[in-house]
Structure 1
Amino acid sequence: MATNETLKQQVATQKQNEVSQGNKPKTIGDYIDQMAPAMAQALPQHMSIERMTRMATTVIRTTPQLKEADVSSLLGAVMQSAQLGLEPGPMGHCYFLPFRNNKKGTTDVTFIIGYRGMIDLARRSGHIQSIYAHAVYENDEFDYQLGLHSDLKHVPTEDDRGAFKGAYAVAHFKDGGYQFEYMPKSEIEKRRARSKAGNSKYSPWATDYEEMAKKTVIRYMWKYLPVSVEMQTAVSHDEGVGRSIKDITPDDDSYVDMPEVVADYPQNEEGSVDESN
């Protein structure tokens, strides 16, 4: 196994070779530009490749840990966001979460669909009239029943709502039907605990707990929604790790020329996210 010193020597040699050939070392931005044509083919019509590449590059440049991530894993997450037509960034459509893979000695990237991303994907099916989710707190008036005549009633308290109790999601179909699911906090926490993203301080679970709780319920309800098989398959990779760019586009050789080591950003003092966090 290569040591850190060996890796540094490889990077230095690579840079010297590129300079001697009159080429600048490739940056993450260069790789994103290189795979832009394939991303453009994957994007839905309402999104432009210019905006997608700009959003992805901004997220990477403003997240120190992503700058240290395995390049193939990182670009795989970028391509997944393009395939689903979800923008990474502050809107909460999707997230790129770096975590330290101690077994491989690398920083990998987890692709996470956000609450707003799940809502957007569901609406694109063309069969859903409306879909939404809400958090429930202890002081809210809340009641639901299942069976032949299922029903749900929620009246949020205007003042002190108390502690978080759970979340529910509702989808109304264009044919007049509907589907709803409620999940108490205990069940949400079980799903959070099973997720690699759930225990990291850099995860949206740490910064936007309520949004992720609502997303969790929609994700559970997803199998009952009238969405395409392709969309069901795509969403199944939510919170997936280790899907490199080669795994996602195995038949396209236009942008898989990945070096073993890429250090296109200076190392920072913050370090990478450890999977044990």
Structure 2
Amino acid sequence: MAAITPRNNISPAGQHKVQFQAFIKNEAVLKNISETLGSETKTKRFVSSIISAVSLNPDLQECQAPTIISAALLGESLDLSPSPQLGHYYLVPFKNKKAGVSNATFQLGLIL
């Protein structure tokens, strides 16, 4: 049986990716992030790096958007990059089977 996809032909993982991008670009969310980081420049860099990290990881795309942002803000507060190439920290998806959702968590990488 073929997989059912929405009318716009976005796969379920791609749909979550679009939902995350819409969530993080929401005016209220951006305002909250900007107030937390204290700078529009930091906010733009943060948002673009998180969108990039989510788009590279299909499992992360399944996570609830607020947990992704929360985990990433922890890394940002430590002045670390979420870039997998640098390995400062990772956004790791965990499935909560009882709740039937996935949440992103902060995982410190190896800092040299």
Greater helix fraction, Structure 1 or Structure 2: 2
Following the alignment from structure 1 to structure 2, what is the Cα–Cα distance between the partners of residues 44 and 91?
24
2:21 match: secondary structure: helix
2:25 match: secondary structure: helix
Following the alignment from structure 1 to structure 2, what is the Cα–Cα distance between the partners of residues 41 and 84?
17
Question: CA contact under 8 A between 1:44 and 1:85: conserved in structure 2?
Answer: no
* Residue matched to 1:153: none
Question: CA contact under 8 A between 1:100 and 1:107: conserved in structure 2?
Answer: yes
Change (3 A) 1:84 1:44: farther
Change (3 A) 1:83 1:50: same
What root-mean-square deviation, in Å, do the aligned CA atoms of Structure 1 and Structure 2 show? 2.4
Q: Determine whether 1:30 maps to 2:22.
A: yes
User: Which TM-score applies when normalising by structure 2?
Assistant: 0.65
User: Which TM-score applies when normalising by structure 1?
Assistant: 0.29
User: 1:55: how far off?
Assistant: 0.8
Matches within 5 A, 1:75-94: 75-89=69-83, 90-94=85-89
Q: Which has the larger radius of gyration?
A: 1
* Residue matched to 1:101: 96
1:112 match: secondary structure: strand
Matches within 5 A, 1:159-198: none
User: 1:42: how far off?
Assistant: 3.0
Query: Comparing both chains, which one has the higher relative contact order based on Cα–Cα distances under 8 Å and sequence gaps of 6 or more?
Result: 1
Following the alignment from structure 2 to structure 1, what is the Cα–Cα distance between the partners of residues 54 and 43?
16
How big is each residue's C-alpha offset from its partner over 1:109-167, in whole Å with a ceiling of 9 and x where there is no partner?
12112222xxxxxxxxxxxxxxx6xxxxxxxxxxxxxxxxxxxxxxxxxxxxxxxxxxx
* Residue matched to 1:62: 56
Following the alignment from structure 1 to structure 2, what is the Cα–Cα distance between the partners of residues 32 and 39?
9
Count of paired positions: 91
User: 1:91: how far off?
Assistant: 1.2
How big is each residue's C-alpha offset from its partner over 1:65-103, in whole Å with a ceiling of 9 and x where there is no partner?
011112332232233233333221121121100122222
Change (3 A) 1:84 1:42: farther
Matches within 5 A, 1:227-242: none
The ranges of structure 1 where at least 4 consecutive aligned residues each deviate by more than 6 angstroms after the TM superposition are none
1:48 match: secondary structure: helix
User: 1:33: how far off?
Assistant: 2.4
